[in-house]
A and B are shown apart, each in its own frame.
Chain A
Amino acid sequence: MKMRRQVKSMWIEILIFALLIATAVTIATLRDLFAAAMLSGIFSLLCACLFTLMDAVDVAFTEAAVGAGISTVLMLGALALTGSREDQQPMRVGPFVVVLLTGAMLLYGTLDMPSYGDPAAPIHKHVAPEYIAGTAAEFGLPNIVTAILGSYRGFDTLGETAVIFTAGVGVMALLLGRRRRRDPLDSEAPCDDTQGGSV
């Protein structure tokens, strides 16, 4: 029964990978940027399905909400400000060769990696057994991911939160400086303006 389920999930994985490739090729060939933005959302949703199949539900959540949800909306917002059609560009061979070479090198690199789900892989041998045993004993929590992110790797997560904070502050500094300039009542405007313009 378990074997049968594995075979079935393998076919689903192959189907999703095929759809991913089809979506990626379509995005690359499309000139209509609106359709490309929507397709990139679909691409993220397919990735989320793949992560769910691999039992990485946390990553799937993030991918679905960020990739398929918010970044598609932001992309559409950017398109509303610019234009929704890509300019005709001549076909260039150089970049295409670079992309092909990089892809081939990445594929070559995966040959050296342990196979998916291999219990003897180095990542399962190092600190993971300690985390798995410690989560139940020290925290009494069933979710090992939360225990690792919040407690074992609390410093990393603090750093990540600081990165997100910095991103938010950076966007405010860059995009809101201009709006303040239009407001005649705001006396700080010239100062904001130079900061927004210099980057």
Chain B
Amino acid sequence: MEDFTTLTTDVLVIGAGGAGLRAAIEAAASGARVDIVCKSLLGKAHTVMAEGGIAAALGNVDSEDNWQVHFQDTMRGGQMINNWRMAQLHAQESPDRVYELETYGALFDRTPDGRVMQRAFGAHTYKRLCHVGDRTGLEMIRSLQDRVVQLGITVHMEWTLTRLLKEGERVVGAFGYNRVDGSFVAFRAKAVILATGGWGRIYKVTSNSWEGTGDGVGMGFEAGAEVLDPEMVQFHPTGMVWPPGVRGILVTEAVRGEGGYLKNSENKRFMLEYDPKKKELSSRDVVARSIYKEVEAGRGTPHGGAWLDVTHLGAETIKKKLPSMYEQFLRLADIDITKASMEVAPTIHYAMGGLRVEPETGETTLPGLFAAGEVAAGLHGSNRLGGNSLSDLLVFGRRAGGAAGAYARNIGLGRLDERLINQEQQTLLLPFSGEGTENPYLLQQALQQAMQDGAGLARDEKGLKGCLNTVLELRQRAARIHAPGSRRYNPGWHTARDLRFMLTIAECIVRAAIERRESRGAHWRLDYLEKDPALGKVNFIAYSDAGTVKLKQRPVPQMPPELAGLFDDAASPGALKSSSTAAPEAKRIPA
């Protein structure tokens, strides 16, 4: 076994996006020693890509708004397979989290009387998204980053952790490598928080960065944690389409929030037909499918998308409210969006699925292991509303950080299992020592193509089964990956390990997608177009059985009557019939 550095800490936070940083701040506030590990440089996490805003029922613009309405919107958006308790906590706590962010130095656009401005967004009943132009994610990560620096929390940049270390069932540390020099590192920690984000890179057309390889879910799965709702993968309706070099790059929902129109090749606003009430601001699953249907019906744009038009807003508003979109199209697509329409099509954006966690604490099914943000599941059900992600990061990042800090106070350090470390070293070094000839990048591209084709926006049994076969075959080939070069900053070698997580998760996605024989939220089955009330009562869970992916069902947690009563067309979640598109007016109960 090769030598490695061992560091000891109370709370180890893996990931430095919104959730990881917020968790670290809270854990540090509880008195714990905290170490953050991130794959990139600090401040580069995918959170910076969030553009539209943070959903929080402040009621600054629409005074009728309150947490109950936000809660209902979230549950309906997720088609009622969400964890109601998470949705409740999220709706109740996000306003405080926004105000708290201001105390870290964050800036938001203001109302005329100086309060935080809020904008309309898809499937939110009221104007709810706190924003600063179209760079809210950057503002959030910078504020959290500054706070972390102020608190003196140690950040290990460009380290990748690939294996959770357990003592019995309890997670007591993690093992991985330093990307810069390729040396091995181990952490001994009283508690571990996963905040590693999503797995969008499993697909070809994605708005995600290279980091979105699902490491946290992969590590958690391998260690024995449960993966909830893996089949629920969100297509953001509006990604760039043309030129090919930019395909998949996100076009913020704020474009529609500020009043942009979606039009087909006949210059018709087709959303008026698919959702006459919410129109362009319907939920993301509905809008993505509508674009897909228009293209299928032969009314698509030259490159297979729809037109997104803001020219009627006037150049000044566009440049003020959507500055980075203006810049992005001008620079990358030679299009001046104040004068011409944007060409857009759905792009993989977000994983609703992830590790199953306790709503209050973010603790996974393994003791000592916590998860927050996109890596965790439950809040968003089968479809996430825009803006609910940034608030998710803050609300559950804080909760996980606090809970992990408290857990660490009452427990000692565990022992690191040398056998596991040795095993992981061998796994990591295989691409150098093995006889393999497979190119990690080309294998990754093959997986991305297979998932895009077989487990994409529109799914059916045949496509999914074909996709599963490809994934299994790629898993075999992945054992023969070869990484040329040295261990010094070698992205090919890094990709080899990332790919193993991606393949595992891909298998979870496809297996659950096959079993969910209905259409619900982001999961659209062409062979089962309707919702199945029985399946509306269950979540699928993928878990590891000696390394193989197994699937089981778990009943959707039942809401207490006072919350169930908010949904006048249903006494219990599973019985709810209406789709999010035909949601009745929100009802209120006293706070």
Whether chain B is bound by chain A comes out as: no
Q: Which residues of B contact A (CB under 8 A)?
A: none
Q: Which residues of A contact B (CB under 8 A)?
A: none
